[in-house]
Chain A
Amino acid sequence: MPSICFYFQVHQPYRMRPVSIFDIAEKPEYFDIKANREVCIKVAQKCYLPANALMLELLQRYPEFKISYSVSGVALEQFAEYAPEVLESFQRLAATGQVEFLAETYYHSLASIFSADEFREQVAKHTRTIQHYFGQTPTTFRNTELIYSNGIADMVEDMGFRAMLTEGADRILGWRSANFVYEPINGRGMKLLLKNYQFSDDIAFRFGSRDWPAWPLTVDKFASWVHALDGNADTINLFMDYETIGEHQWEASGIFDFFRHLPEAIFRHGQFGFATPSEVAWKYPTVDRVDVPSAISWADSERDLSAWLGNPMQDGSIAWVYALGDRVKATGDEHLIHTWRKLQTSDHFYYMCTKFWADGDVHKYFSIYDTPHSSYVIMNNIMTDLEIRLKDYPTIQHLPAVDPIQAPPLRHHKRLQAAKLHRVNKVKK
């Protein structure tokens, strides 16, 4: 009984305002409120609202249809402010009981690479936000951009998660198939779900591409590929950006129709169904362990961290951001801490990427800045201002950081243990 496991990523960063040298120390606003609102509303109209309406329709028509989302905290915040109807439509999806919401870092950050404490705090904050909006406590974790390593898996398992998602990179699998459940090399029971990048990217990247020999990708064609795996797969993990539907693949490409008819086509084969990540983790046995000593991700053709880190502009800026951590937290000023954390969002460093091959185009598409260099320059100005702002706080504030969003990992762990997995999708009213 193989399952199709859909996970959609929903994320919008707080894009930076082009803060100039003259703005420094003059109390500038760091984030481009106008641009962020505009993008939010634009993507809501092209993707979130119509896609959520479609999903709701499908979930109601097919009680066995299941999907999952990971919505970053900064995206939820912006929906609440700029497009509350988007938030409501996600809540309606949650109320069907067929939708799982995953945990991630609230700020869609790279904290897992730079600071274990910061990472845990952001995950805890995100978990509380998901509880607040959707009445679920996530038991499955997905890290920013599916970044994964043995060490990160260890931290995530320590936090009490029962399953984690990552990329089904050839580098870690070798001859093995991504269509089964795995566990970390040093795991203690946490399951790993690996993205089937072939099928996922067929939909996310190649769907509308006329250069692709398989174009046009019809539902029947796709279903026949999936059905051909019968007997050779437990789970087919289709992980992609939600913005694929309507934003990356425009409506004219037929993407909405594709999803509209997909469940029906999949169900045509009696053995196939849908499952959420935690159901997959529950249903299928692990077949093997995977060893990932250095980090992988789902980005670009390298599937590594080179989209965010590696050039001196990226490395210099991110090191600076994290270096201020202790001083920022010592202020105890929630607003300031929140602001600093919004600067950790991975997109800022993605914009600074200078990889010059095909991937560069994707980076450019997502960036509101002319060049990688201008986003670096802007972040320099903002960080200089932030440093100056820190001077306004008493310097001898070496009290332990009273972080209002910190949740002790132990308690969190117990609470998760207490929760029955099959109840995950039940909505608490």
Chain B
Amino acid sequence: MLGWELPPFNSGGLGTASLGLTEGLASLDIGIEFVLPKSPGRFPFQHMRVHSAADYTKDGEATHWEERYFETSLGYGNYLTHTADGQVVVTPGLSMPEDTNLPTAEAQAAWYAKRAARLAATQNFDLVHSHDWMTYEAGIASRTVARKRGQDVPLVAHVHATEADRGGTRGGGNRIIAALEKRGVHQADRVVAVSHYTKQMIHTEYEVPLNKISVVHNGIDTKRQPEQFPLHALKAHHKLVLFMGRVTLSKGPDYFLEVARQVCAADPNVRFLLIGSGDMEQACIERAAAMGLTGKVLFSTFLRGKDVEKAYQLADLFVMPSVSEPFGLVVLEAMQNGTPVITSKQSGVVEVSDSMIKVDFWDTEAMSRSVLHVLHNPHFTQELTRNAKHDVAQLSWGRAAEKLHEIYSELVPQQLVLLPAVAS
């Protein structure tokens, strides 16, 4: 299985999903060799082995951008480094280190593919599973290695997001990445989408036949109970509405600000929390000030670990106004923390639960009305969160893994062992 990041060294939902799925698969007795471009530290996992493709760099092949690149790009603009004992150090930098020699997306993919192929040559496996565009070239290369050995190994391309989602518009985003993505989903023997919404997107964007795309919704760790934090003193003074995620076009932070403007005009006691980092962070801060929302919208760079749950519990309402959201794991996290949710209809998560308010991302008036409704009707809100907790309990990674297992079985009819232990 070829991935990009894993918790705790992750910056987004991709790492969380990768871990959740592998845990689910492992419980179905599937062996997993998990490959990262460059392992940033030691992982405490029992259920799989984690390989670092960078270890398969030949002498004299190291490129100057390599170290720096993985530190920065993994963090989506945050500077991720790690100490000798493996602790992640996050510098929530608005400013990426300026390196004019940063490699293109193609060069990154090729870099990963070259090393993944060398790694694959040392392994014996029945199936290759690639998570998102950065790993597709590596997946294709690994499959080629197996084919040369005479093994017919299928490739699964797991689409957690498309470039059209990330770019915020249809046909938008980086064209080089879109091209890599297209090649990946076409080369793959099966495409897995995180939602029907994404399935449709892959079909229309990349002309992949619908019958080649299977949907496996994301899940959440249902056994884990979020730590309960004492009621924060701030809650006694203000109603708090939370945005948490990457502050970038596709996540709709600008719509959040527009909602803040409308809601604050109706209820001056509400405060909006915009938490996260990203390329629109400064623009959003300036825009909030320009909209006269100084003091109404409070900001924080992105949070990690316990602070994430603290933020969910601090808030009276979580809003995900994404312009295009393949799934939206944060919604399940908010639900698990007992926070009511308003989400845009342009997301995958709306397919798995009805215990949230669903509004078009562009309809800020409806969204503002919903915010006020949730904040002012405690009975309605209580019922919403109670139902949401019930729904979340059904959405385990185990269930997602079972679906994946079915797909694997179709592709590899014989006794399936995915990437079993190292070959001689």
Contact = CB atoms under 8 A, between A and B. Distances in A.
A391 B292 CA distance: 23
Contacts of B294: 312-313, 316-317, 319-320, 380
Contact of B285 (A313, A370, A383, A387): A313
A115 interface: no
B295 A312 contact: no
Contact of B286 (A25, A26, A312): A312
> Which one of A25, A26, A312, A354 has the highest number of Cβ atoms from chain B below 10 Å of its Cβ?
A312
B314 interface: yes
Given A313-B286, A313-B289, A391-B237, A373 B295 contact: no
A22 B314 contact: yes
Contacts of B314: 21-22
Interface residues of A, number: 28
Contacts of B292: 316
B234 A380 contact: no
A370 B77 CA distance: 14
Contacts of A377: 285, 298-300
A381 interface: yes
A365 B282 CA distance: 20
B267 interface: no
Interface string B214-234: 000000000000000000111
Contacts, number: 75
B236 interface: yes
Given A21-B298, A370-B93, A373-B94, A384 B286 contact: no
Contact of A371 (B95, B295, B300): B95
A376 interface: yes
B186 interface: no
Interface in A93-131: none
A25 B290 contact: no
B237 to A, nearest CB: 5
Interface in A368-422: 370-371, 373-374, 376-377, 380-381, 383-384, 387-388, 391
Interface string A296-319: 000000000000000111011101
A25 B271 contact: no
Interface in A14-37: 20-22, 24-26
Contact of A25 (B95, B234, B310): B234
B310 A373 contact: no
A92 to B, nearest CB: 45
Contacts of B290: 312
A311 B286 contact: yes
B271 A384 contact: yes
Contact of A380 (B94, B275, B299): B299
A316 B236 contact: no
B233 A373 contact: no
B318 to A, nearest CB: 15
Contacts of B281: 373
A380 B295 contact: yes
A317 B95 CA distance: 24
Contacts of B299: 21, 373, 377, 380
Interface in B91-124: 93-95
Interface in B259-312: 271, 273, 275, 281-282, 285-286, 289-290, 292, 294-295, 298-300, 307, 310-311
A373 B237 contact: no
Contacts of A371: 94-95, 282
B237 A370 contact: no
A384 B286 CA distance: 18
Contacts of A370: 93-95
Contacts of B311: 21
Contacts of A25: 232-234, 236-237
Contacts of A387: 295
Max chain A Cβ within 10 angstroms of own Cβ: one of B93, B282, B310: B282
Contacts of A354: 286
Nearest to A391: B237
Contacts of A374: 94
Nearest to A388: B237
A344 to B, nearest CB: 16
B295 A320 contact: yes
Contacts of A316: 289, 292, 294-295
Contacts of A311: 286, 289
Of B94, B294, B307, the most chain A CB neighbours within 10 A belong to B294
Contacts of A320: 294-295
A179 to B, nearest CB: 42
Q: Which 3 A-B pairs have the closest CB atoms?
A: A316-B294, A312-B289, A25-B233
Given A24-B234, A391-B237, 5 more contacts: A21-B234, A21-B298, A312-B286, A312-B290, A354-B286
6 contacts: A26-B232, A313-B286, A371-B95, A371-B282, A377-B285, A384-B295
Interface of A: 20-22, 24-26, 311-313, 315-317, 319-320, 354, 370-371, 373-374, 376-377, 380-381, 383-384, 387-388, 391
